[in-house]
Amino acid sequence: MGKYIRIEGGLTAPEGFTAAGIHAGIKGKGSKLDMALIVSAKDAAVAGTFTTNRIQGAHVKLCRQRVAARKARAIVVNSGCANACNGPKGLADAEQMAAVTGKELGVDCKMVLVCSTGTIGIPLPMDRIEAGIKIAARALSDTGGPLAAKAIMTTDTVDKQCAIEVKIDGKPVRIGGMAKGAGMIEPNMATMLAFLTTDAVVESRALQKCLAAAVSRSFNRVTVDGDQSCNDTVLFMANGVAGNRPLNEKHGDWQTFTGAVDEVATDLAMKIAKDGEGATKFVTVRVKGTFAPNAGVVLLAVLVKLRSATRGTLNVTLA
């Protein structure tokens, strides 16, 4: 990985972040984890990208508004119910999730972002949601990243995490992340959620540019079944605990930082492709040299041959 050192911990690998993954009963009886909470120890710069679908879940509308303020402290996520196509009640429930989380954490509820994933058209079970938030707030831990990653899964067969460390201004800086997604995956995001964290100091507008570029090179290049969804969200929090000089496009280590973010986003996107519903093979095609005019046709023929040869569903990455 060159400058990048792979580390453990997912989104709690960066300093100043805690997380929890708990069972709130949203998915019914049993012990399945279905609620995650991610918290920064201090106000963090925040960036976000969202689905381009005309139909958008309640949390997408709420997060768009709050990300515009460029600051956040926490993200609460439930799985098992998408809170989409529920009209005004859906938005009110998303706001209530943020209000309860803010109260439990002792922070302004407007600094809390909300995400939901699961079945569309079913109202959130708010009694279980509110009780679960209280449990999650008590379960927060700086080693809670792996449990949080499991709690956001729906049809995923495995959790998806990544964390790396780089040097910025000679200081160790960490970027961590988790994602979910296996079906209804289409470019311009899909039925997927992803959350990134870093302890780097990053100017908020630069953070948004960094995330948008990383998403365009990773999550927006994944397709499993060609179906786009209404809840797709990627959120990125930078709390500045590492103490480096503020990062922006003029900083000497900007390319190092953005390259590290690309690495995490690409790793998570590839894990979504590998876990695609029905996928049995994962093939990487590396193309070198100048493309001839008919190279696209030739490459397509190669992919068709590969799919036939593997005799299974094939997910392909181009590198």
Closest to 182 (Cα-Cα) out of 58, 86, 268, 303: 268
Token pair of 193 as six digits: 């959620």
Helices 126-139, 87-105: crossing angle, 10 deg rounding: 30
Length of the chain: 319
The DSSP call for residue 108 is: -
**Annotated catalytic residue, options 49, 117, 191, 266:** 191
Please provide residue 211's backbone torsions phi and psi, each rounded to the nearest 5 degrees: -65, -45
List CB contacts of 94: < 8 A, sequence separation 6 or more: 58, 59, 61, 62, 83, 114, 116
Q: Are 17 and 41 in contact (CB under 8 A)?
A: yes
Catalytic annotation present for 101: no
Find where tokens 């908020």 sit: 204
Q: Which of 20, 16, 62 is nearest to 43 (CA)?
A: 16
Alpha-carbon span 143 to 306, nearest angstrom: 41
Which tokens sit at 85?
A: 């196509």
In the chain, % helix, strand, coil (3-state, to 5) comes to 35, 30, 40
**Would you name the residues annotated as active-site residues?**
191
